[in-house]
Structure 1
Amino acid sequence: MHWILGIALTIAVFVILKQWGALSAAKKKEAAWKAALVIGGALLLFMVLTGRVHVLTAAVAALLPLLRKLPVLLKFWPMVQRMTGQKGADSDAQPGSQNHGDDAGSAGRSAASTGSMGLNEACDTLGVKPSASREEIIAAHRRLIQKMHPDRGGNDYLAAKINEAKSVLLKHCQPDE
């Protein structure tokens, strides 16, 4: 089986090199870029399939070649804002412009980032009762964080919620004597 793959690879390399020699300098440069992108994409796909690279990281890496097109795409941004009805940063500086939607959005983001988790939500997150002891809270936290830690296939958001739930419950927990 290996010798068949070797022969096929040798024939492919021979055909590619023969066609490469017939190309002009400009076509060679274009073909080199295409070959680099195809080889890079194939390596990225291989690494995703073997579990060496996370899918989101691969998606970001696949979008990197499109950064060359970003200046062209940014020309269309004001048109996209007009079509969606969003106000741009320029409209904030104009006198008399009202910005009610942005204020509500930033208030919602700041409330979410301050960690205002309630006792019931913390209990639901860790799966304990509000009357749980300190040891039960710590054991539940340890059990969940081992499953949801970013290094073990979880994500940062879940790990942060579990940690926040632990701190909320430990603040409300009566100290053991």
Structure 2
Amino acid sequence: MNPVSLLLLGVLGLLVIFWIRSLSPKKRGKAVILIVLVIISLFVLLMALTGRLHWIAAIVAGLLPFAQKLFPLVLRLLPFVGQAYKYRQQTRKGSGNRSEVKTRIIAMQLDHDSGVMYGSVTEGPFAGKELGDLSEAQFIDLLQYCREQDTDSARLLEAYLDKRFGDSWRQDDPTGQRDEPSAGNGSLSIQEAYEILGLKTGASRDEIIEAHRRLMQKNHPDRGGSDYLAAKINQAKEVLLKHVVS
């Protein structure tokens, strides 16, 4: 394979990786399976076009005896694999690597490690839909609905759009409106503050400060983060530190 082809494959591979990382965890598994199926299909097509399809048949025939022996073993191991996966998911949920910010219309999550935001709509004409599934026109309609119904939801959605698209989406915003970067109208409950910082109930003062520092490294406005989210993170820290002191 010539260097140009290798370079193109490398660039394509990087684009695919970035695309997968931008998806919510629920969709990453399906995306990986789809990519694997596409690669296998292209490989089989290439072998057929080059007259080497019989090689695949020979390899499959050679592996059949081993597959017959391995299949019962795989069936016996499946329950253990399921338990290991469940344990891993439970560990992730309590690891403090994910923050949750909820408003009346939007439920948003932020992955601490990658900085990727993903969420869903909980109220209105797009209720039940994942933000990653919405088109550009639907985002603008949802933003208009949020501005009419709940200011906090509009600010949170703007933070998501800024994180995902930069400022380019604002060219399609018919009002050109930009909300003030406050943390919202209401005070945070202690539970909401824990969720925003991605901490378990009863976290220590040091854990609160560390979670705040880690989140602000990726969400500070001076580093391309969201004013609204930064204000929420600061507010959550203040609420929890007062709770710890008291």
TM-score normalised to structure 2 length: 0.26
More strand by share: 2
More helix by share: 1
TM-score normalised to structure 1 length: 0.36
Q: Radius of gyration: which is bigger?
A: 1
